[in-house]
Amino acid sequence: MSESVFPVSPSVAEKSLLTNEQYQSLYQESIDNPEQFWAEQAKRLNWFTPFDKIKNTSYQPNQVSINWFEGGELNASVNCIDRHLPQKANQTALIWEGDEPTQDQKVTYQQLHDEVAKLANGLRKLGVGKGDTVAIYMPMICEAVYIMLACARIGAVHSVIFGGFSPNAIADRIVNCNAKLIVTADEGKRGGRSIPLKQNVDEALARKDVTTIEHCLVFKHLSSQINWDDKLDIWAHELTHDMPAVCEPEVMKSEDPLFILYTSGSTGQPKGLLHTTAGYLLYSALTHKYVFDYQEGDIYWCGADVGWITGHSYIVYGPLANGATQVIFEGIPTYPTASRIGDVVDKHQVNILYTAPTAIRALMAKGDEAYATNKRTSLRILGSVGEPINPEAWEWYYKNIGNSQCPIVDTWWQTETGGIMITPLPGATDLKPGSATRPFFGIKPALVNSDGRILEGEASGNLAILDSWPGQARTIYGDHERFEQTYFSTYKNMYFTGDGARRDKDGYYWITGRVDDVLNVSGHRLGTAEIESSLVAHTSIAEAAVVGYPHDIKGQAIYAYITPVEGVEMTDELIKQIRDWVKTDLSPIACPDKIQWALGLPKTRSGKIMRRILRKIATNEHDQLGDTSTLADPSVVDDLIKNCKN
């Protein structure tokens, strides 16, 4: 692992919000006096009613409960829009960049306000109110931001479903969160290809167990031909046509739910993490400001999708709470060419760029195409998120996208954490390529060994967090027991992240990746269990086991071992059918890269699949299988090695 150091340059330090000394003293204060620290930070928000208790949290077994700023009342959309209007009504809030380089649109804070108010009034007219759940399945257009904020305005809980998910996955999420309304667009566009969003929703709603949806609200984006059901479907522009551009915000308690967002775990179906209003909003705003060193006038661009937590915290809530001007992008980094990111940076004079290692590696693979024809001199800060960034990709990003002038903030965090947890701060932290460096304010990371002992100094172990922070998810929607079990039962009185990490002599953290059965494919988090359950739903498959293996661009790729039902022969045609099945059943991102026909899987005598062995076979480490004597039938291993696809 590279240990080269990139010290904070004097010119960066001079322009940044915080120095190293300031970081250290604020960090210490946030740990020594968390209540005082967070009470002070909470002044960043506009409150209808001040809170009377700052922190009321417990990680005790069977009593996990997380509450911040109790007694307080506020509204997230007011904090993201209304309060900026006196000074910023005419400032651009959103710069939309379409899939085609010729398409763009600017939206001021006043326009954002008006669009959100009209939609919020429209939602109320449809009978959606405080506490109702609204599923959102949208392309990356401004309307995705409007509808999320419109929900927040009336106290409805949004649950955004990533536009890359298939009808079955949409239906599962609607059923789980009891959504009353689903919001979509006719079609989306990515990399020149159309995404049939409304059609996918139609198919999801056709599933018999989807019973809670009263209406489907549709935004017209590409004027595509779509099926229409007069009783169910409503055009957004028709709904909002006569609506006033003012809308009284709902008064929300600090701990009232803001949104549910599904993410994958190591077992079972995806879990709906529930985030609440005040703590989440404050944490996303504070991290956005200091991690990206956001200063008035900066143009900020986060390349994520609103279907993931990064889009929630660092496109919608954090930047807008800070009154930022930001680019939102419908397309992909390699369309029409690999110069697109740099071209968009030049076109909109972007100062801060936040993207994922997988995008960087995809550009790297194209030689100098990404940077030969653009300048990117407006850039001041680069960010990375979603998976470990390998030092080669880090240095390529630094040199070729950032012209060796911009610090890279490698931000480690999760859907569950709500905001960035371990990260450099641009003017404060010397950088080491591949390391997420140091904890953010209020975060107490710990490395723990398999016995639950906290390791000191230089060490490697499982990453846990010792105390609560305001942005933390409060529960898994409808299943608090699973929440406790997943995050608080592995180590007593700690939040367990599911990641492994190393701490070096300078106290810097190096995230090594998941230690559970969760994969990270191109920065997308996927549970092996969900892919397996999709595979076994195919009529030819009796049993399936999925593991990850390293991939140059995606970080990890998916390797599936499949046992056929009796009498089924493996053919290329069948493999193709299975791959297509997973794409339509779950998502194209969950489609296995390699499929191996396995006559048997390595199981213990109690019937548990030993994935450790399958991982080693898929990564071609056939000489490191370890002890196989505990297997019920050790001979299956030879067959698996013989037929390995890697």
Residue placing its CB nearer to ligand PRX in the complex, 254 or 556: 556
Residue placing its CB nearer to ligand PRX in the complex, 333 or 383: 383
Give the Cα separation of 300 and 630 in Å (integer). Answer: 54
Cis peptide before 336 (omega within 30 of 0): yes
Q: Residue 417 gets which letter from DSSP?
A: G
Residue placing its CB nearer to ligand PRX in the complex, 513 or 634: 513
Between 501 and 540, how does the x/- string for binding to ligand PRX read (CB under 6 A)?
----------x-xx-----x----x---------------
- Min dist CB 304 to ligand PRX, Å, is 8
Stretch that binds ligand PRX, among 2-10, 183-191, 408-416, 443-451 (CB under 6 A): 408-416
Q: Does 262 bind ligand PRX (CB under 6 A)?
A: no
Contact positions with ligand PRX (CB under 6 A) in 419-448? 436
Q: Residue 453 gets which letter from DSSP?
A: P
Binds ligand PRX (CB under 6 A): choice among 499, 516, 532, 585: 499
Residue placing its CB nearer to ligand PRX in the complex, 189 or 525: 525
- Number of chain residues interacting with ligand PRX (CB under 6 A): 23
Give the Cα separation of 536 and 581 in Å (integer). Answer: 11
- Min dist CB 513 to ligand PRX, Å, is 6
Residues comprising the binding site? 190-193, 310, 386-388, 410-415, 499, 514, 522, 525, 536, 538, 541
Residues comprising the binding site for ATP? 386-388, 410-415, 499, 514, 525
Q: Does 82 bind ligand PRX (CB under 6 A)?
A: no
Stretch that binds ligand PRX, among 38-46, 93-101, 175-183, 379-387 (CB under 6 A): 379-387
- Min dist CB 313 to ligand PRX, Å, is 8
Q: Does 263 bind ligand PRX (CB under 6 A)?
A: yes
Residue placing its CB nearer to ligand PRX in the complex, 133 or 263: 263
Residues comprising the binding site for CoA? 190-193, 310, 522
Residue placing its CB nearer to ligand PRX in the complex, 308 or 495: 308
Residue placing its CB nearer to ligand PRX in the complex, 487 or 561: 487
Residue placing its CB nearer to ligand PRX in the complex, 303 or 386: 386
- Min dist CB 345 to ligand PRX, Å, is 21
* Other C-beta atoms lying within 10 Å of the C-beta of residue 104: 15
Axis crossing angle, helix 572-585 with helix 528-536, rounded to the nearest 10: 120
Residue placing its CB nearer to ligand PRX in the complex, 323 or 498: 498
Report the residue closest to ligand PRX, judged by CB: 415
Q: Does 385 bind ligand PRX (CB under 6 A)?
A: yes
Q: Indicate left, alpha or beta for 523 from its phi (over 0: left) and psi (-120 to 50: alpha).
A: left
Q: Does 410 bind ligand PRX (CB under 6 A)?
A: yes
Residues comprising the binding site for Mg(2+)? 536, 538, 541
Binds ligand PRX (CB under 6 A): choice among 165, 283, 412, 508: 412
- Cβ-proximal residues to 571 (8 Å cutoff; 6+ apart), any chain: none
Contact positions with ligand PRX (CB under 6 A) in 144-163? none
Report the candidate in 534, 558, 560 with the shortest Cα–Cα distance to residue 548.
558
Query: At residue 344, what is the residue type?
Result: V
Tokens of 533: 């359950």
Q: Which residues pair with 525 in a beta bridge?
A: 520
Handedness of CA 566, 572, 573, 576 (dihedral sign): positive
Q: Does 75 bind ligand PRX (CB under 6 A)?
A: no
Give 584-635 as a DSSP string: HHT-GGG--SEEEE-S---BBTTS-B-HHHHHHHHTT-GGG----TTBS-TH
Stretch that binds ligand PRX, among 138-146, 184-192, 216-224, 494-502 (CB under 6 A): 494-502
- Min dist CB 493 to ligand PRX, Å, is 20
Q: Does 415 bind ligand PRX (CB under 6 A)?
A: yes
Residue placing its CB nearer to ligand PRX in the complex, 186 or 499: 499
Q: Residue 390 gets which letter from DSSP?
A: P
Strands 193-195 and 454-455: unpaired
Binds ligand PRX (CB under 6 A): choice among 186, 256, 387, 532: 387
- CA terminus-to-terminus distance, the chain: 24
Residue placing its CB nearer to ligand PRX in the complex, 77 or 429: 429
Q: How far is CA 616 from CA 290, 552, 625, 626, 644, in A?
A: 41, 18, 6, 9, 11
Strands 215-219 and 233-235: parallel
Q: Residue 522 gets which letter from DSSP?
A: T
- Specify the DSSP element, H or E, that contains 281: helix 278-291
Stretch that binds ligand PRX, among 66-74, 148-156, 302-310, 544-552 (CB under 6 A): 302-310
Handedness of CA 371, 373, 375, 381 (dihedral sign): negative
Q: Does 309 bind ligand PRX (CB under 6 A)?
A: yes
Tokens of 43: 């002044």
Report the candidate in 347, 356, 312 with the shortest Cα–Cα distance to residue 327.
347
Report the candidate in 150, 180, 177, 2 with the shortest Cα–Cα distance to residue 76.
150
Q: Does 310 bind ligand PRX (CB under 6 A)?
A: yes
- Min dist CB 491 to ligand PRX, Å, is 16
Residue placing its CB nearer to ligand PRX in the complex, 111 or 462: 462
Query: At residue 629, what is the residue type?
Result: S
Q: Does 411 bind ligand PRX (CB under 6 A)?
A: yes
Axis crossing angle, helix 278-291 with helix 34-41, rounded to the nearest 10: 80
Number of residues written out for the chain: 646
Q: Contact positions toward ligand PRX, by CB under 6 A?
A: 263, 308-310, 385-388, 410-415, 436, 497-499, 511, 513-514, 520, 525
